[in-house]
Amino acid sequence: MKKRFDKVYQFKITLKGIKPPIWRRIQVPETYTFWDLHVAIQDAMGWEDYHLHEFEMRHPSTGENVRIGTPTEEAEFFGLEIISEYHQKIADWFSVENRIANYTYDFGDNWEHKIQLEKILPRDKNIEYPVCIAGKRACPPEDCGGIWGYKEFLEAINNPDHEEHEEMLEWVGGEFDPEHFDMSEVSFDDPDKRRKFAFR
């Protein structure tokens, strides 16, 4: 059963360290938790949600930077305090005074994203949320080695004489256009279903 809501939060998600920038603009319900936001980011950017992730944000009460994600035994072993993303509502954290969060996906490739709250808007009854309303450029392929690996990947597929040209093209399915982004291709999963699938 879907939760009722009156407001939507508009975020711009920008992948750090790549120029020209790769970014998406999404609108999500105010009832969203950080887990729900994670799923929306994955779907809007084009990631496959194969890896771990984490948010980092200034706590609205204490002003301290805190981690929000999935608490693990490993994190506990290393003394890292991670606030559970399943019970934290974005509306309790994001505001006009507290607009920015960092979101890291895949701690190996270390894809860092800047999450910026742009607006809090009244819900449009004619729109099915979440929705992606803008964006630029293709998401890098999973497991390509982070920012530097992506740069090398692009060099390989764009140069027919590169020793890894054919191998990289085959790995990515035959073609890859780093400039391609089509909003109509974005489809959002149900966060609750994704959670059940992830932890079954």
pLDDT digits (tens, 9 = 90+) for 165-177: 999 999 999 999 9
* Same domain flag for 107 and 57: yes
Q: Is residue 37 part of a domain?
A: yes
Q: Is residue 2 part of a domain?
A: no
Q: What is the pLDDT of residues 55-94, one digit of tens each?
A: 999 999 999 999 999 987 776 777 788 999 999 999 999 9
| pLDDT (0 to 100) of residue 59 | 95
Burial 105-124 (b: 16+ CB within 10 A, else e): bbeebebbbbbbbeeeeeee
**What confidence tier does 161 reach under pLDDT thresholds 50, 70, 90?**
very high
Cα(146)–Cα(137) distance, integer angstroms: 16
> Token pair for residue 9?
């939060």
Cα(37)–Cα(189) distance, integer angstroms: 11
| pLDDT (0 to 100) of residue 197 | 74
For tokens 């910026």, name the residue.
Answer: 116
Q: Is the pTM of this model over 0.85?
A: yes
Give the residue numbers spanning the domain of 79: 7-137+181-198
Domains contained in the chain, number: 2
